[in-house]
Structure 1
Amino acid sequence: MCGRFAQTRSREEYLAPFTENFERDIPWDPEPLAHYNVAPRSRVLLLSMDENDTLHLEPVVWGYAPEWWHKAPLINARVETASQSRMFKPLWQNGRAIVFADGWYEWQRVGDKKQPYFIYREDKAPLCFAAIGKTPFDANSEAEGFVIVTAAADAGLVDIHDRRPLVLTPEAALAWLHPDTSAKRADELAHEGALPADAFAWHPVTRAVGNVKNQGPELVEPVDKPHS
């Protein structure tokens, strides 16, 4: 699954592969976001594309709970079932988006404690998480925001957790966003355009990341021994 991630670079660094061939309705901002501990229910910059092929980057709440859903908002959707489920099919068809990240956190049980790990691209390049949400994306909505699409972990990643975010290449991410991409084609992109497990590296980090109030670059730094 994906329950925490880091989004620390400037929006311009994240947008660089996307704006060469597409217009943007996004203010220029070179300042780093510096979000080292993004948690559910927070507002996250979400990349989307409108019917005029124009890119938008808007703060949208991480979580989705339609009016008929009387449980806690969902934060993830399984790629294996999302395109056909009652909950997510409309979002898959018309609400595809991208969440930028530098990496995500997963917890592995070690004895009677859980050790957090930070997982990132081995080449340190930004990540493009596949996401789906309720359109039009509304910065004021508290319930109908977005979820991150997850896939089954494989290779070494499964040792940390059995699920992981669906991370797309920039090329696949652009196709995922495009309004002319059909739901069927989006399903194909989710498999063809996903980065393989061997593209990632990971290391243990401080347990301080477990507290959503903690922020700062020390959260993503490797630790030799678990500590709080």
Structure 2
Amino acid sequence: MCGRFAQYSSRDDYFDALKIEDDELIYDPQPIGRYNVAPGTKVLLLNQRNEHLHLDPVYWGYGPEWWNKQPLINARGETAATGRMFKPLWVHGRAIVPADGWFEWKKEGDKKQPYFIYHKQHLPLFFAAIGKAPYNKEHGHEGFVIVTAASQKGMVDIHDRRPLVLTADVISEWLDSNTSARRAEEIAHDAALPEKAFTWHPVDKAVGSIKNQDANLINEITPD
């Protein structure tokens, strides 16, 4: 997965898709309006804390003090639950990134063409994420990463990795601190949307600059 996605719908749209009750979160009909979310910025992250759901702005990236490289932004779903870096986060820091789609760059000849990938029915997406909890506290560069899966079928032509997008009906269980790490592995394996749920189209290369943030970034174009 490349390091850009879109989170432009309103909180209402995301919460309605999850069938979250009115008293569980404060609704907000205003669009979030982020069409080019980049690593190193704070992203609204859905998480459970003290048996209540919260939506907190959290740093996208994970680099503990002993990590002397750039903060990581993704974790492979095949190994995140057992690897040294991410196992503690898998147990105690499961979260969800509400989104509308993501961007990937495909090499075409000697150039790279960006594509926007989204649900065929334009439904909200829910990326599985793990990070440093609790999310209402500042942890520096110990923020969160998006869990990824291997791409298959047509999507592999765009990129060999993709976000692990969970179905709305398992989000509550994924977030629940009482859900075991093993059960969370099962959810990641069995409740992810398949490639056939998505479609994609080429978009303007302006998405390559984080300075560009307008809605035109997700519009389909005819490549040169």
Name the TM tier (shorter chain).
over 0.9
Question: Using a 3 Å threshold, how does the CA distance of structure 1 residues 62 and 189 change in structure 2: closer, same or farther?
Answer: same
User: Which stretches in structure 2 are left out of the alignment for 5+ residues?
Assistant: none
Which consecutive segments of 4 or more residues in structure 1 shift more than 3 A? 17-23, 138-141
Question: Which residue number in structure 1 is paired with residue 167 of structure 2?
Answer: 169
Question: Which residue number in structure 2 is paired with residue 82 of structure 1?
Answer: 80
The answer as to 2:57 corresponding to 1:59 is yes
Q: What do residues 101-142 of structure 1 show as CA deviations (whole Å, max 9, x unaligned)?
A: 100000001111100000000010000000000011146333
Question: Which residue number in structure 2 is paired with residue 120 of structure 1?
Answer: 118
The answer as to 2:139 corresponding to 1:141 is yes
Q: CA deviation at 1:225?
A: 1.9
Question: Which residue number in structure 2 is paired with residue 6 of structure 1?
Answer: 6
Question: Which residue number in structure 2 is paired with residue 45 of structure 1?
Answer: 44
Moved more, 104-113 or 135-144: 135-144
Q: Is the 8 A contact 2:49 2:134 kept in 1?
A: no
Moved more, 200-209 or 137-146: 137-146
Q: Is the 8 A contact 1:60 1:139 kept in 2?
A: no
Question: Which residue number in structure 2 is paired with residue 18 of structure 1?
Answer: 18
Distance 1:138 1:11 in 2: 18
Identity of aligned residues (%): 58
One-letter identity of the residue aligned with 1:140: E
Question: Which residue number in structure 1 is paired with residue 26 of structure 2?
Answer: 27
Q: CA deviation at 1:5?
A: 0.3
User: Which stretches in structure 1 are left out of the alignment for 5+ residues?
Assistant: none
Question: Which residue number in structure 2 is paired with residue 98 of structure 1?
Answer: 96
Moved more, 11-20 or 61-70: 11-20
State the SS of the aligned residue for 2:106. Answer: strand
Question: Which residue number in structure 2 is paired with residue 109 of structure 1?
Answer: 107
Q: CA deviation at 1:96?
A: 0.2
